[in-house]
Amino acid sequence: MKACNSCGKCCIKYSDGGLAASDADIEGWALFNPDIHRFVKNGEIWMDPATGESIKRCPWLTLQPAKGKNTQALYTCDIYRDRPEDCRHYPTSIEEMRRDECEMIEVRDLRDPKKAQRDLDKLMSDSRPPLG
């Protein structure tokens, strides 16, 4: 299992109507982060504050240009410390990573998905309960 390389695939895929925030996230934003809370409507994220419609691309996803010849552009999250529960919990399973072509996954993880799940759970232990 490699470290996340900020390829942005997960954010791009799930921010098109596939993300949920917990009630605690939404209450916290309402109290302390009104700029984030503006993008919530009827408990759903991310909604355009002007039109009330769902936004296709997460408004907090920023592409940082490559800094040199041998580097690649990276995606960063502008609200990383306050990101919603779904984002904090990702990646959750090896199957999900395989399906999403997450770049953390290695060939040996696919050969032994049970061990890979344990490794992933350990890696994510500060963010979510274990799955495996």
Tell me which residues touch ligand SF4 (CB under 6 A).
4-11, 15, 58, 60-61, 77, 79, 83, 87, 91, 100, 102-104
N- to C-terminal Cα distance for the chain? 15
Nearer to ligand SF4, 67 or 80 (CB): 80
Q: How far is the CB of 81 from ligand SF4 (least distance, A)?
A: 10
Q: Single out the residue of 100, 93, 86, 97 nearest to residue 44, CA to CA.
A: 86
Q: How far is the CB of 98 from ligand SF4 (least distance, A)?
A: 11
**58 contacts: CB under 8 Å, gap ≥ 6:** 11, 12, 15, 19, 46
- Taking a C-beta distance cutoff of 8 angstroms, is the pair 89, 25 a contact? no
Q: How far is the CB of 111 from ligand SF4 (least distance, A)?
A: 19
Number of C-beta neighbours around residue 102 at 10 A: 22
Q: How far is the CB of 45 from ligand SF4 (least distance, A)?
A: 8
Nearer to ligand SF4, 67 or 99 (CB): 99
Largest distance between two CA atoms of the chain = 48
Nearer to ligand SF4, 77 or 131 (CB): 77
Nearer to ligand SF4, 72 or 130 (CB): 72
